[in-house]
A = this chain, B = another copy of it.
Amino acid sequence: MDKQEMHHTLMAAKARKGISWDTLGEAVGRSPVWVASACHGMNSAPYEAARRIAATLDLGDDVIAALEAFPTKTWDQAIPQDPLVYRLYEIVGVYGATLKDVIQEKFGDGIMSAIDFEMEVDRQPDPKGDRVVVTLSGKFLPYKSW
């Protein structure tokens, strides 16, 4: 079972059972965003997490194995088109140089890791319309000189 088939199997089971990412995350003892990324085939799951995801969704060993496999992480569109994803791309475009400047002033020459990295999504109630809050947290990696 490759990652794509795994993804379709997981999404179908999740819909059939009516389980949300929050519930699944709780069942696994992990963040819902990370669980979702593993189910989308964009992160490999350690065995215990894979086992719990499969158990919660009544799926078998082939799904566990597919969840454990190391993914090749690629995406279809260099410039994303779906409006939700494009807005994130636009934020990188509009604020990229600003973020580089602010982060490097605070931390020195280096980057925020996208590997030693985690992310959460929250709903923040607001009378003028609720807000989506996305929190990115990555280890600062200083450039090495040698």
Contacts and interface: CB of A to CB of B under 8 A. Distances in A.
Interface of A: 20-22, 30-34, 36-38, 40, 42-46, 49, 70, 72-75, 77-119, 121, 123-124, 126, 128-146
Contacts of A46: 145
A46 B109 CA distance: 10
Contact of A20 (B77, B105, B142): B105
A134 B140 CA distance: 12
Contacts of A49: 145
A130 B140 contact: yes
Nearest to A32: B102
Q: What number of copies of this chain does the assembly contain?
A: 10
Max chain B C-beta neighbours (<10 A), residue from A34, A103, A108, A143: A143
Nearest to A128: B139
A30 B22 CA distance: 34
Nearest to A72: B82
Contact of A81 (B40, B73, B85, B131): B73
Nearest to A89: B92
A32 to B, nearest CB: 6
Given A112-B134, A130-B140, A146 B83 contact: no
A24 to B, nearest CB: 11
